[in-house]
Amino acid sequence: MKKTTFAILIVCSMLMLAACGSAVTSSENSDGKLYEDVNVKHAKELIDKNEVVVIDVRTEAEYKEGHIPNATLIPEDEIDNRMEDLDKDTSYLMVCRSGNRSSNASEMLAKSGFTHIKNMKGGMNEWTYEIEK
């Protein structure tokens, strides 16, 4: 009887440890990313509510062709050098043409301790709202 109880206790302990080890950490979302992908509609809602600062990671030429109003231009290849200009506690929405460069930039920021990063999936290719030139 004692052996059976002891064996059950061991199995339960192992199951609990395994469950803890597979839990998603607080800095990862359910996809295992350190940032959140959002669609264009959700991005627009966040912008309209002033819940995010928009960072456009395209080139200067692309930015000048048209960008989200009040977006700050920080080309992807300058993110590393400009991180010190950004507040780690601010919520940022990262934007590019298609969502690829902004995804890379989001990953860089998240790995550097930024905790409120969102990436606009589809990028400016899918943006149907107002733009500035």
Residues with a catalytic annotation lie at: 96
Ramachandran quadrant class, 79 (left: phi over 0; alpha: psi -120 to 50; beta: rest): alpha
**Cα-trace Rg, the chain:** 21
